[in-house]
Structure 1
């Protein structure tokens, strides 16, 4: 397989020479691995990365307290035995600096940087039928062509600021958690505001509260949080982990969401009240997502079972927060435990017992505007030296919406998805030939790196199939998209999480036009998702139009 051979010799003779066989948008975990795999096919690949280094999520999110919420040894790549043996995670849930070092190590080990162009944000990508390829424009005005466009943009990479007047007027320091500075930021002696109590907010608040002169937390919607129980990995544990990697990854492949935790086969009311309480206590004292992903099998589908775990966690919050009024404000009233992604915390609730921390409930006193001095609510003017926006992301589709992607006939992807995304297996979009999405809408999320490796391997298999047959164009058949969409809706039926406003359901009050729930993700099991995709490949990609 020649390294510079253009896929499809016949089409290449009739069209201008393309700059690359494939362009990948993004040098995060999915982009790095896809580059590695496509090199193995002998393709000419270019990765465009907006940042100055590799890492994606772990490059941008440098806010204090950022770390994994899935076990480190279940999160790293599994494709290289040598990599597994030489890298040692220091903690069960690694912090952001360590994860970024890991991804830089991977980039160096496999010599990936030579095909990555940093500081290159993609502004537009237009399909060109005349040469069966994509015309990609960067923000710097340069243009690049490729047969295939592979999006490795991630489901949580389009940060959003709140829709509040005056954001630009504040005279102090102001940061969104996603765009955290590369230089050290000190909170010592400062009056700090944190807006938002989602996963990033929880992690940030825990750290800011340690040194800030005063911290004010502005909470719009409280979230159910559970203890992380992180600790260093001992030398003996390190030996067991490295020897046990085959079993670790096998368990991830078999579990519902690729985590090391699997649901208990019992229903919540198939045991005595005492057994149920003891099991909840055991999960609450265990590390990681066990209380979310390893709970009774019906806590995420049965309202009565969900009410039982919800009341248990509410009692824990009341026990941990000394002021009953503050505790009640921290207890969600509009959704049950686990129906949103559960932030994992380390003494988060105890922060509100500190004299230097205050909670402002925005349901009672909404923010009117950001002022040059701070934040004005309906009942007070608050002065700050620093504002931290932990206001989340335009999730799943947002990173696509920010690029002018146009398919056959010039149709815009954003318009095509205006009523919700339509895909085939979360990888292809009908009418957008040769565009392949990694971790796009309707793919299995969960422990994301496990899904990334599968998605990349599946895309690589499709491109190998096309290369071997001299094919240069792939598109999803309309009937295949309809069948997949019906399947995605069916497997999400009955899940309580799909009845709640969250990024799981595509709702973001900070983004115009995204206040209505949609089917944004694949809600079935990861094994079921892989089985569908495997069958498509095994039967020769009959659901796709190949030419």
Structure 2
């Protein structure tokens, strides 16, 4: 497949027929989403000569970093690990300003990638997918835009992201609020004035922790509503000097293969030492050393049994609880900020900068949603059992419907009109996280039960996207009109994913990887608890065995 085929212009593209009268499509592939994964998938498919189109609901590239512009939005993976590894020229020229890049720098980076590789010519922005319908007679997908436009493609690849479907708390009356309100996951492009304002923030997850630290500095009064405290750890961000960047750049040839061998694409790996094999004083000294290091060293770099043994975990949790008590002046507030309902690492661990110190400010108040729930929004703010709290601005930092949310909110119909969200009513079923039985020619990058976006996103998606590009090119070259997950392979994979997850400490917590943050949703494991190298190997094993687990129709 060496010939490059120009993609047709945007607009409604009716399916056509070839010389034999068989149905064809103007696009080999339509990719849904122009974030980190979708951009790389586009480039690889284009290089392999496929006719490809990306549709994106936003106004530009960047995905997460296009939408999440709230104050404090920042990486908790080291910047230089969170970039594309394929472009040596860009690696040589791009200097990261900080150890952990903020949203503006990240968006500039992804715009630079799009400019350098002329990606926008194959991306249709402002295209919000409302329906995906599989035409069984012609083996084509109809891609329906909310405004009525329709594209046709032989294959569809969903690169919709793990955290992109906004979750709103079930609180009535938001439409009555006369002030300004924003969800952190859809922050406006223009600056939101918070200085001297009365601000309410709902949520203290990873996003809430970032935004609270910034808003507390400038608001006249900040009221934080917390449902569940989190085991947050210091980020310890700092600028990167020219000398440091030169040293980091010199290590790139070894860095990226090394990251590919880690459990989730991060720099830090678990200490192979069992915590109980060293004296307590030595353990505490080790925890103190980790605590002073940047980023996820305090999560990914602890003794390996902290993630598997409850006793070891509780000792480390008590060490971190002591740090919270040291940093928060009011003992009662400190107690509210120490988790008691879940073990360390059983939920995503947020990184923070002076988060706990924010509660030492006289203008900041912490309110527990368990003892003082928000009953309703009012024209002037929010009402709780204790009365009304006035607000000029309400910030909703309640996260996302993770892994399946973006797909479930699209009407995706496969064989016999089967609706994907109905098939997944009691939990997702997939084969290797990339395909679903009864949904032919439909692939998922970074969805449930796969490693594609679960961890350090570019590192976890890189090899999966490359595998997908090879598979798609092979399918087109061999005139495979229909490819679908074997139901038996899907059943075995899904049962295996659920089984290994049930034995981890994570199964003891209420967390978004089980869908527990969505009221009324059946509890089902949504992520993938295996390692990145093992997952990539399983993809390669399928390829080497002639795409085992997939049913191919030529």
- Give the shorter-chain TM-score range: over 0.9
Question: Which among 200, 205, 212 is matched to residue 205 of structure 1?
Answer: 212
> Residues 51-200 of structure 1 correspond to what in structure 2 (within 5 A)?
51-200=58-207
Of 435, 445, 448 in structure 2, the residue corresponding to residue 438 of structure 1 is: 445
Would the aligned equivalents of 1:420 and 1:520 in 2 still touch at CA under 8 Å?
Answer: yes
**Is the CA contact 1:339–1:497 (under 8 Å) kept in the aligned structure 2?**
yes
Q: 2:4 maps to what in 1?
A: 3
Task: Confirm whether residue 342 of structure 1 aligns to residue 343 of structure 2.
Answer: no
Residue pair 1:227, 1:344 contacting (<8 A) in 2 also:
yes
Q: Write the distance in 2 (CA, Å) between the matches of 1:541 and 1:20.
A: 23
SS of alignment partner, residue 439 of structure 2: coil
Structure 1 residue 470: deviation in Å? Answer: 2.0
Matched ranges for 1:287-306 at <5 A: 287-306=294-313
Q: Secondary structure of 2:329's match?
A: coil
Q: State how far apart, in whole Å, the 1-side matches of 2:517 and 2:347 are.
A: 13
Between 296-305 and 496-505, the greater mean CA deviation after superposition: 496-505
Instruction: Quote the Cα distance in structure 2 between the aligned partners of 1:385 and 1:248.
Output: 47
The equivalent of 2:500 in structure 1 is 491
Q: Deviations over 1:208-257 (max 9, x none)?
A: 01111111101111111000000011111100111101221122111111
- Structure 1 position 11, deviation (Å): 7.5
CA offsets 1:137-160 (integer angstroms, 9 cap, x no match): 000101110000010100100011
Q: Which runs of 5+ in 2 are unaligned?
A: 8-15
Distance in 1 separating the partners of 2:258 and 2:507: 26
- For the residue of structure 1 that corresponds to 2:541, the secondary structure is helix
Counterpart CA distance in 2 for 1:168 and 1:471 is: 50
Compared CA separation, residues 446 and 517, structure 1 to 2 (3 A):
same
Q: How much has 1:87 moved relative to structure 2? A: 1.1
Between 1:11-20 and 1:121-130, the stretch displaced more is 11-20
1:523 aligns with 2:529: yes
Kindly report the root-mean-square deviation, in angstroms, between the aligned alpha carbons of the 2 structures. Answer: 1.5
State the alpha-carbon separation in 2 of the partners of residues 494 and 527 from structure 1: 20
The Cα of 1:482 is off from its aligned counterpart by: 1.6
Further displaced range: 464-473 or 379-388: 464-473
Residue 415 of structure 1: how far off its partner (Å): 0.3
Aligned with 2:211: secondary structure? helix
- Distance in 1 (CA, whole Å) between partners of 2:189 and 2:26 is 33
Report the counterpart of residue 457 of structure 1 in structure 2.
466
Once the two structures are overlaid, the 10-residue window that deviates more, 486-495 or 453-462, is 486-495
1:537 aligns to what? 543
Determine if the alignment matches structure 1 residue 482 to structure 2 residue 491.
Answer: yes
For the residue of structure 2 that corresponds to 1:367, the secondary structure is coil
1:12 Cα deviation after fit: 7.5
Q: Distance in 2 between matches of 1:277 and 1:75?
A: 31
- Alignment map for 1:26-425 (pairs within 5 Å): 26-425=33-432
Provide the residue aligned with 1:447 in structure 2: 456
Runs of 4+ in 1 over 6 A off after TM superposition: 9-12
Q: For residues 157 and 429 of structure 1, what CA distance do their matches in structure 2 show? A: 20
Secondary structure, in 3 states, of the residue corresponding to 1:160?
coil
Aligned equivalents of 1:405 and 1:93: distance in 2? 37
How far apart, in 2, do the equivalents of 1:467 and 1:209 lie? 54
Aligned CA distance change for structure 1 residues 466 and 385 (closer, same or farther; 3 Å): same
The secondary structure found in structure 2 opposite 1:144 is strand
User: Any unmatched runs of 5+ in structure 1?
Assistant: none
For these two proteins, the number of residue pairs brought into alignment is 542
User: Whole-Å Cα distance in 1 between the matches of residues 20 and 297 of structure 2?
Assistant: 57
Rounded to whole Å, the distance in 1 between the matches of 2:197 and 2:168 is 22
Alignment match of 1:546 (pick from 530, 548, 552): 552
Q: Are residues 546 and 345 of structure 1, via their aligned partners in 2, closer, same or farther at CA, if it must alter by over 3 Å?
A: same
Distance 1:190 1:315 in 2: 33
* Distance of aligned partners of 1:126 and 1:187 in 2 relative to their CA distance in 1, 3 Å threshold: same
Q: Is the 8 A contact 1:166 1:371 kept in 2?
A: yes
C-alpha distance after superposition, 1:82-110 (max 9, x if no partner): 12111111111000000000000000000
Q: CA deviation at 1:320?
A: 0.4
How many angstroms does 1:486 deviate by? Answer: 2.7
Give the TM-score normalised by structure 2.
0.96
The alignment's TM-score, normalised by the length of structure 1, stands at: 0.97
Moved more, 64-73 or 458-467: 458-467
Partner SS state of residue 202, structure 1 = helix
Deviation larger for 462-471 or 531-540: 462-471
Alignment pair present for 1:471 and 2:480: yes
Worse-matched range after superposition: 383-392 or 457-466: 457-466
Write the distance in 2 (CA, Å) between the matches of 1:5 and 1:14. Answer: 23
Deviation, structure 1 residue 423: 0.4
Deviations, residues 33-54 of structure 1 (Å, cap 9, x unaligned): 0000000111111111101111
- For the residues of structure 2 that align with 1:48 and 1:252, how far apart are their CA atoms? 30
